[in-house]
Amino acid sequence: QTVVTQEPSFSVSPGGTVTLTCGLSSGSVSTRYYPSWYQQTPGQAPRMLIYGTNIRSSGVPDRFSGSILGNKAALTITGAQADDECDYYCVLYVGGGIYVFGTGTKVTVL
């Protein structure tokens, strides 16, 4: 069973920068896993931010960026704003038609 791990929580100051990561229980994440990132505010459906490692979805502010950092996928928020405070999930395509969600990161802006 593939496990995709994320930091449980992160705190960032308004205007600051935070990098969330998405790793595999065994092995390294690369672009062939097509990492995608989602933002979820309480009581709402998730919203796709990034797909294909680093492609921003339509309407997503450019303060959100995706990359591969070392052996993990990463989501960087540059110039954090109060409404960035919510949960973030990554998804990896692990092959064979299977997608796996990460464990999720709760971001606090204070």
Partner 1 sequence: QVQLQESGPGLAKPSETLSLTCTVSGGSIRSYYWNWIRQAPGKGLEWIGYIYYSGTTSYNPSLKSRATISIDTSKNQFSLNLRSVTSEDTAVYYCTATTLGVDAFDFWGQGTMVTVSS
Residues near partner 1 (CB under 8 A) are 1, 34, 36, 38, 40, 45-48, 51-52, 57, 89, 91, 93, 96-104
Minimum Å gap between C-beta 84 and partner 1 is 19
Give whole-number Cα distances, 27 to 4, 50, 103, in Å. 10, 22, 17
Rounded CA separation 36/93 (Å): 9
With respect to partner 1, which residue has the nearer C-beta, 50 or 80? 50
Minimum Å gap between C-beta 29 and partner 1 is 14
Rounded CA separation 76/66 (Å): 6
